[in-house]
Chains A and B, each alone.
Chain A
Amino acid sequence: MTVELRNLRKSFGGVAALDDVSLTIARGEFVALLGPSGSGKTTLLRAVAGLEFVDSGDIVIDERSIHGVPARERGVGFVFQHYALFRHMTVARNVAFGLEVRPRSRRPTARDIETRVQSLLDLMEIGHLGGRYPEQISGGQRQRVALARALAIEPKLLLLDEPFGALDAKVRKSLRVWLRELHERMGLTSIFVTHDQAEAMEMADRVAVLRAGRIEQVDTPATLYAEPANAFVHEFMGESVQFRCLVADGRAWIDGLPDIVLPNRCPSGPAVALIRPHEIGLLPGPGPARVDARHHVGPLRRVRVRMDDRVLDLPVPEGRWLPDAGQTCRLDLSQARVYPCASDAAGLSRAGDRESESPIRATMLIEENSST
């Protein structure tokens, strides 16, 4: 089943939730919609399910527009963020629901329904929980019930809204692998929404990064990490160190580091250079950076470097020069990527973006802190 999203637009009270979104998903693909809260990823998912109506654009599944098709007839499996299990029904009745509400002509017999429910529960490794109520089982088990219920109607397309959002870290890890395997085994096409870049990178064939209702980049996780299309994607896809710089004639001069020149294709003007901490090289000799501390435990070698008023925590790969505490050194930023400031500024002026960006910064800070 191929899914084509064509120029989708949707606004809530003047604020664009989807701003000209186009995306094609191939049969059997596992695609992640990644973005901060308020970026429109859930709206996009709900539009595909028919729970939200777009203002313009078209959704095409297997060459057929489903624009006018009501949600109940789309046959798309949807797993809700908080599972939305029917609280007054047992697990087995929850899973059977999609079959029991079918018109009589297409409804399997009661016995067939029982057999199918049981085999689905077995597939989810919760075969013994059929008689329990949702409130009597754990979060991870509820997640599996929600999946079983969505799969009972034999959808070709499975949509998952933050499928692991409400689970603790340990359960989350094991469910990720399990869900990916299930996707392969059942030959599904899946789209899932997440704000966790590690989750998207680990599970998805391709990742679409959204910001303020726009798709910033769609690529495989490896490409997305290695070649981010802009500063936002760079910062969202992993730890980043930012330097302000000025571009003139295809060369970028970094503020405060006059001896570093980065060739690039940006238009002249203010720009930012972004680099991952592990891409920063340390070179011996007098320079702007001063080593505050170094940690050398087992194979892990890290230094804390102070530069003007900023502190960088950098890993030093095996075989590279490891400075001593108190030494000064030069920086090798040749792997930095330079992006024009303009696109970022335009992004910031877009409505709703300011608040949506703060959580990323916060998580990046946490990541940086936890790695020290």
Chain B
Amino acid sequence: MSETAIYPSESATSAIHSGEAATQEAPATRAALTILTIVLLILLLLFPLIVVFTEAFRHGLGGIVEALAEPDAISAIGLTLIVAAVSVPLNTVCGVAAAWCIARFRFPGRGLLITLIELPLSVSPVISGLVWVLLFGANGWFGPALDRLGVRIIFAVPGLVLATAFVTFPFVARTLIPLMEHQGAAEEEAALTLGAGGWQIFRRVTLPNIRWGLLYGVLLCNARAMGEFGAVAVVSGHVRGQTMTMPLQVEALFNDYDWVGAFTIAGLLSLLALLTLAVKAVLEWRIGAQGGALL
């Protein structure tokens, strides 16, 4: 492409004159491919989304208000917010620390650490939930001991937080590692020679440089934390009004043939997804403007 730009050959020049680049397909092929893509997008993405909202609105706005006023629904929304409020900040701190460590230092076991960070992405969420049951469940390794102390982890909020934190761990670190490696350590070293201490360097140099990438990672982490189903389902125990997060509540209501209730909460989750997408687009644009490379 660059070659033709520098030395426009005769065919390329004529193609420009006819208003069409030499590499382009015939108009019919182009149209067919475009239509296929659009149809698939509508069928697979847009159509389900529309179904969610039409089903939620089946009994009008009143049905939605009623569904949201259900104590179980309120409890599910509250629990989801609590789980996200604990696991997202936790993973943000751990993710920044891990990314800094991996991007700035070469040490034995660095490759292993990267693999470990990415482990939750390759493991089935059900397994991610099951390990906590095996550790802290009634018949698990530490279950009986915890039981004697009166601490409940499985089928309780701590279990939900643990499972969610495990599943969402990679997002912040994975977003930051390439960004920090791309930016290099030179600015931090410059700050060091100018007399700045560790915390000053982090707050004044590192953090401002990674802020858009960090927000991006936090956003993805949050979306997953609120939407996680598999891992949470295993540790939840499905106690209505107590250990049901929003995705679990959707399934439970759906199984009860409460279509409006199920789709109302599903609609809320979908709104969250749409909001995430919008913010993500803005962030990608900001990170691009900063000259950072993403993933």
- List residues of chain A with CB under 8 Å of any chain B CB: 49-51, 71-78, 80, 82, 84-88, 97-98, 101-102, 135, 149-150, 152-153
Partner of A80, one of B190, B197, B290: B190
Q: Is B58 an interface residue (CB 8 A)?
A: no
Partner of B196, one of A51, A77, A101, A135: A101
19 A-B pairs besides A78-B190, A80-B190 with CB distance below 8 A are A50-B193, A51-B189, A71-B193, A72-B194, A78-B193, A82-B186, A84-B189, A84-B190, A86-B191, A87-B187, A97-B194, A98-B194, A101-B194, A101-B195, A149-B190, A149-B194, A150-B194, A153-B194, A153-B195
CB <8 Å contact, A72 and B192: yes
CB <8 Å contact, A97 and B196: yes
The distance in angstroms between the C-alpha atoms of A78 and B189, with both chains bound, is 9
CB distance from A133 to the nearest CB of B (A): 11
CB <8 Å contact, B197 and A101: yes
Q: Is B9 an interface residue (CB 8 A)?
A: no
Interface locus among B94-102, B203-211, B233-241: B203-211
* B window 196-248: CB within 8 A of A: 196-197, 200, 204-205, 208-209
The distance in angstroms between the C-alpha atoms of A278 and B144, with both chains bound, is 91
The distance in angstroms between the C-alpha atoms of A298 and B205, with both chains bound, is 58
CB <8 Å contact, B195 and A80: no
The distance in angstroms between the C-alpha atoms of A161 and B37, with both chains bound, is 53
- List residues of chain B with CB under 8 Å of any chain A CB: 186-187, 189-197, 200, 204-205, 208-209, 290-291
CB <8 Å contact, B190 and A101: no
The 4 A-B pairs of least Cβ separation, nearest first, read A84-B186, A98-B194, A101-B196, A84-B190
Residues of A within 8 Å of B196, CB to CB, are 72, 97, 101
CB <8 Å contact, B195 and A75: yes
Residues of B within 8 Å of A78, CB to CB, are 189-190, 193
Partner of B209, one of A49, A87, A97, A102: A87
Residues of B within 8 Å of A152, CB to CB, are 194
The distance in angstroms between the C-alpha atoms of A135 and B190, with both chains bound, is 17
With A84-B186, A84-B187, A86-B205 already in contact, the answer to whether A76 and B197 are too (CB < 8 A) is: no
Residues of A within 8 Å of B186, CB to CB, are 80, 82, 84
With A72-B196, A86-B205 already in contact, the answer to whether A101 and B189 are too (CB < 8 A) is: no
The distance in angstroms between the C-alpha atoms of A102 and B196, with both chains bound, is 7
The distance in angstroms between the C-alpha atoms of A366 and B186, with both chains bound, is 32
The distance in angstroms between the C-alpha atoms of A75 and B192, with both chains bound, is 10
CB distance from A98 to the nearest CB of B (A): 4
The distance in angstroms between the C-alpha atoms of A18 and B200, with both chains bound, is 32
The distance in angstroms between the C-alpha atoms of A149 and B193, with both chains bound, is 11
CB <8 Å contact, A71 and B209: no
With A82-B186, A87-B187, A88-B209 already in contact, the answer to whether A101 and B192 are too (CB < 8 A) is: no
CB distance from B106 to the nearest CB of A (A): 10
The distance in angstroms between the C-alpha atoms of A135 and B193, with both chains bound, is 22
CB <8 Å contact, B193 and A76: yes
Partner of B193, one of A51, A82, A87, A102: A51
CB distance from B198 to the nearest CB of A (A): 9
The distance in angstroms between the C-alpha atoms of A82 and B183, with both chains bound, is 12
Please, could you name 12 A-B residue pairs with CB atoms under 8 Å apart, sorted by A? A49-B193, A71-B189, A72-B193, A80-B186, A84-B187, A86-B190, A87-B209, A87-B290, A97-B196, A101-B200, A135-B291, A153-B195
Residues of B within 8 Å of A71, CB to CB, are 189, 192-193
The distance in angstroms between the C-alpha atoms of A101 and B196, with both chains bound, is 5
The distance in angstroms between the C-alpha atoms of A101 and B198, with both chains bound, is 11
With A72-B196, A88-B208, A88-B209 already in contact, the answer to whether A97 and B191 are too (CB < 8 A) is: yes
Residues of B within 8 Å of A74, CB to CB, are 193
The distance in angstroms between the C-alpha atoms of A71 and B201, with both chains bound, is 13
Residues of B within 8 Å of A88, CB to CB, are 208-209
CB distance from A46 to the nearest CB of B (A): 8
Residue of B nearest to A74 (CB): B193
The distance in angstroms between the C-alpha atoms of A86 and B191, with both chains bound, is 9
The distance in angstroms between the C-alpha atoms of A71 and B291, with both chains bound, is 29
Residues of B within 8 Å of A102, CB to CB, are 195
CB <8 Å contact, A101 and B204: yes
Partner of A72, one of B187, B197, B205: B197
Residues of B within 8 Å of A149, CB to CB, are 190, 194
Residues of A within 8 Å of B209, CB to CB, are 87-88
Residue of A nearest to B290 (CB): A87
Residue of B nearest to A155 (CB): B193
CB distance from A59 to the nearest CB of B (A): 15
CB <8 Å contact, B193 and A77: yes
The distance in angstroms between the C-alpha atoms of A77 and B186, with both chains bound, is 14
The distance in angstroms between the C-alpha atoms of A51 and B192, with both chains bound, is 9
The distance in angstroms between the C-alpha atoms of A102 and B191, with both chains bound, is 12
Residues of B within 8 Å of A101, CB to CB, are 191, 194-197, 200, 204
The distance in angstroms between the C-alpha atoms of A78 and B193, with both chains bound, is 7
Residues of B within 8 Å of A82, CB to CB, are 186
Residues of B within 8 Å of A75, CB to CB, are 195
**Residue with the highest number of chain B CB atoms closer than 10 Å, among A51, A76, A86, A135:** A86
CB distance from B196 to the nearest CB of A (A): 4
Residues of A within 8 Å of B195, CB to CB, are 72-73, 75, 98, 101-102, 153
The distance in angstroms between the C-alpha atoms of A51 and B200, with both chains bound, is 17
CB distance from A265 to the nearest CB of B (A): 46
CB distance from B50 to the nearest CB of A (A): 42
